[in-house]
């Protein structure tokens, strides 16, 4: 299988939890990666940590790796191929997807190990 290419987005990110009936807050707007998901149980937001007000329930200290896309919708196993090397070395991940590609979040303190595992699996870090 061909290697995947990925980039590490600049900055620290936070994963936030709000109640499901809350409106999307204004602090999520702006440039850069942001993922907003609403379910019956929660409003979950992933965005730059610096945007998140202190009183918001959030897990901070995440880094975002973007699989270089666009990825075709009929592609099979892309995310599994990317995260399998991370699982083998015990790195927890959080995944998000957009129309064009996949994003994988790892804790800041695990980023170096994650990049080593991905390199050993043949995946390429690009700028």
Nearest of 50, 44, 14 to residue 30 by alpha carbon: 50
Angstrom distance (rounded) from CA 10 to CA 37 = 22
Lowest mean pLDDT among 54-63, 70-79, 84-93, 94-103: 70-79
* Interval 59-85 mean pLDDT: 93
Q: What CATH number has the domain bearing residue 112?
A: 3.30.2130.10
One DSSP character per residue, 75-105 reads: --SHHHHHHHHHHHTT---EEEE-SS-EEEE
Task: Print the domain residue range for 86.
Answer: 5-125
Summarize pLDDT for 110-121 with one digit per residue, the tens. 999 999 999 999
Summarize pLDDT for 23-39 with one digit per residue, the tens. 999 999 988 999 999 99
Q: Quick one: residue 98, left, alpha or beta (phi over 0 = left, psi -120 to 50 = alpha)?
A: beta
Burial of 107 (0-12, 13-18, 19+ CB in 10 A): middle
Nearest of 78, 82, 14, 2 to residue 46 by alpha carbon: 14
Check residue 70 and give its pLDDT.
86
- Overall domain count for the chain: 1
The Cβ of residue 116 has, within 10 Å, a number of other Cβ atoms equal to 12
Angle, helix 111-120 to helix 78-88, in steps of 10 degrees: 120
């Amino acid at each position: 299988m061909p290697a995947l290419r990925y980039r590490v987005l600049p900055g620290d990110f936070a994963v936030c939890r709000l109640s499901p009936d809350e409106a999307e807050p204004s602090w999520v707007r702006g440039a850069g990666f942001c993922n907003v998901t609403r379910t019956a149980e929660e409003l979950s937001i992933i965005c730059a940590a610096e945007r998140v007000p202190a009183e918001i329930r959030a897990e901070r200290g995440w880094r975002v790796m973007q699989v270089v896309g666009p990825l075709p919708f009929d592609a099979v196993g892309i995310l599994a191929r990317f995260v399998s090397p991370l699982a083998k070395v015990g790195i927890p991940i959080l995944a998000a997807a957009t129309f064009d590609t996949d994003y994988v979040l790892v804790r800041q303190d695990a980023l170096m190990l994650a990049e080593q595992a991905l390199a050993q699996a043949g995946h390429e870090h690009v700028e």
